[in-house]
Structure 1
Amino acid sequence: MILRGVRKARGRRLVLRGASLTVPSGMLVGVVGENGGGKSTLLRIACGQLAPDGGEVRRTGAVGYCPQRLVLDDALTVEQHLRYFQVAYQLPDLRWSEELLEILALAGFRGERAGVLSGGTRQKLNLVLALMHDPDLLLLDEPYQGFDWETYQRFWELTVRLRERGRAIVMVSHLALDIGRFDEVHYLREGLLYDSSGVAEAAATVANGRGVVGG
């Protein structure tokens, strides 16, 4: 995936003002920044859900997007969600989905309606729906919200496995303990992306009003 000079305004406010990011296959990239700084907007543009006001977006292969906002129907069971998305993704079977249910400790909830699940369990289902078609590019917006510690650990084991299979992964994270897990970390600040090696320079750049993209 390549984002180059991406711009997006929300009303009169310029949320993204030239953000650039390249994520090759087999790389796990973290995006961090202040709340309301445009991280979710960046992912929505990257997956094609939201059109940029300017710049270039290039994707290859299938995309999986796990948003913060759940895509679940409270009246449907876990099993019914899988069947619905199987048709949407045109999948011949649910073997990978079944494996994901086991990995994320969700298999025991197959017959439960989404509306009665706990917040963490609903988030597990939200993640499974984003991954079940085994996409080439994964865009994950704080995907483990509400996970218990064991499932959190299983999630990272799954992420390593996906990376080893050549998947490109971009993840918005707010936990400091996650930083060391990424191949690269990019900071979204003042509408621009900076890699972790250029944070001090980024601060100086923004302060000086030069707006040069780093990373």
Structure 2
Amino acid sequence: MEVEETPEAVPVAAPAVAAPAAPSRRTPRGARFAGAAEEPEQPRSQQPLDEGAGRAVAETVETLIRLRREGRSGEAHGMLVEAAYWPPARFPLLAAELHRAGLDADWAALLWEAASLPAARLVAAADALVAAGRTRDGHQMLRQGVVRPAPEIGEAVLALTGEGRRREVRALLDAYVRMRTPEEAARSVEGDPQRLVPLLLEAARGVSEERHWDLVHALRVAGFTA
């Protein structure tokens, strides 16, 4: 009597099998707005506002209303650039007050300005928004924030890892592998492939099996061991 042994399927560490080979696993969980069940999306608890936050926000909104009324858009934009560097805990309050004043376009502009913040501040600001219930704004800020040169992402991840800030690393890379092509993402590991490749692959696997294999392929084409 013959006993047929079914060979075990070798999962992720398979050789160079064609990347798209995970057919019926769709790209899951809404790539643009990740579900709250994913660990990288869990924010820290809401940060307390600093003492002068309420007054600073009120004065800024009043000034913006006046500048917009007078057609002084250059000065208004300058104020938004400054506000992008405020303590992260102020962002939810500022968002609420700008929307209340009908300055939705100014809030959108502020989100865009915040995208150029250093990585740690970017994640902290996005966290503050998510913790205050402004999840969509927080995710948008992260998505816009990863549209920067690949080497900068790699440097930021290495710096955050060196400080032991694993949660920020996961949040940043989760947004990064969702927004950038696998080929672009592969370029971010050049600074330290040994440390960056595993982190990048872990983030891609959290998005979908398909994205993980696409990244494995892109890394191999770029000459990195995946």
Shorter-chain TM range is 0.3 to 0.5
Higher-Rg structure is 2
- In the superposition, the TM-score normalised over structure 2's length comes to 0.32
Richer in helix (by share): 2
Highest relative contact order (Cα 8 Å, sep 6+), 1 or 2? Answer: 1
Richer in strand (by share): 1
- In the superposition, the TM-score normalised over structure 1's length comes to 0.33
